[in-house]
Amino acid sequence: MAYLDNGNQIFKDARKNHYAVGAYNTNNLEWTRAILRAAEETRTPVLIQVSTGAAKYMGGYKIVKDIVEDTMDSMNISVPVVLNLDHGDFESAKECIALGYSSVMFDGHALPTDENLAKTKEIIKLAHERGISVEAEIGKIGENQGADGGELASVEDAKTFVAAGVDKLACGIGNIHGVYPEGWKGLNFDRLKEIADAVPVPLVLHGGSGIPEDQVKKAISLGISKVNINTEFQLAFQGATRKYFEAHKDEDKANKGYDPRKLLLPGTEAITDAMKEMIGWLGTPSIDEELKNAAFDRSSLNEE
């Protein structure tokens, strides 16, 4: 029976040891399988998340959880898996807590700060009673629009939200959801460092697709422990699927190229490949490596 990890220890370890764990958005069964396969083949922990829109597309939050858990079972997944609601509003966060998601993000960034904080506290109470992890968002992550990228998170807000008990904090630091526009100014490392110096919790980088590798690595060195990847996989899926059609493989009747299992395969495999590359960027260690380190720590303790 599949077990969902709340990720608290996973992301604490990531922050402490200066690597990140990817948070990968699922859209359907193929996406779920592709993500779990990359995690299992690299033996790395993984966070699968679903946006409110993708959950609606898939038929609701319960179906998403069922698909993730049943796929973990059918694929014999042995690495830790966190299931997170991405950018939840108050109602969807409560629903996912009741359903047994192991992690929820409550995104109250559009609310006045006082109201965002009050609602975040309510979500924290409900979630923590059940051992569920909570991510909050401060500042504003850009939406495909200006090259400036949203609104910078303030250090004061970071301190306030962490004091309220959030387990992970998403900060607007010039990052953008979707494809980064020409002339984007890049991440604001000064603000990231100020926030990381002020609060000990794992920090989250939304809009991780399309940020240059050197900036992702620098952000991780400064305290980013969770990097959200969505657009990257959509583009990987689109590119591989386009090639399939451009080669007219769908018209190959002798090989049943029209079979959806064949149509969707190149795109699905492209997601797994893209994720493996991303795991390398993020420096996510395999759980075997982690276990070895833990065993080493214990044996050196015994010697003393």
* Six-digit token string for 185: 């100014």
110, 121, 165 from 115: Cα distances, Å:
10, 10, 16
Nearer to Zn ion by C-beta: 225 or 268? 225
Nearer to Zn ion by C-beta: 168 or 206? 206
User: Using CA of residue 36, residue 40, residue 41, residue 44, what is the dihedral sign?
Assistant: positive
d(CA 84, CA 97): 10
206 binds Zn ion (CB under 5 A): yes
Return the residue nearest Zn ion (CB atom): 206
Nearer to Zn ion by C-beta: 78 or 144? 144
Q: Which stretch binds Zn ion (CB under 5 A): 4-12, 93-101, 204-212, 296-304?
A: 204-212
* CB of 148 vs Zn ion, minimal distance in Å: 17
* Residue 63, C-beta contacts closer than 8 angstroms, at least 6 positions apart: none
* CB of 177 vs Zn ion, minimal distance in Å: 5
Contact 68, 101 (CB under 8 A): no
- Contacting Zn ion within 271-290 (CB under 5 A): none
* Residue 100, C-beta contacts closer than 8 angstroms, at least 6 positions apart: 4, 65, 130
Q: Which stretch binds Zn ion (CB under 5 A): 67-75, 198-206, 254-262, 268-276?
A: 198-206
Nearer to Zn ion by C-beta: 21 or 72? 21
C-alpha closest to that of 272 among 30, 28, 38, 76: 38
- Contacting Zn ion within 57-76 (CB under 5 A): none
Q: Does residue 297 have an active-site annotation?
A: no
Q: Which stretch binds Zn ion (CB under 5 A): 112-120, 144-152, 202-210, 271-279?
A: 202-210
The dihedrals phi and psi of 21, each to the nearest 5 degrees, come to -115, 135
Contact residues toward Zn ion (CB under 5 A) are: 206
> Known catalytic residues?
86
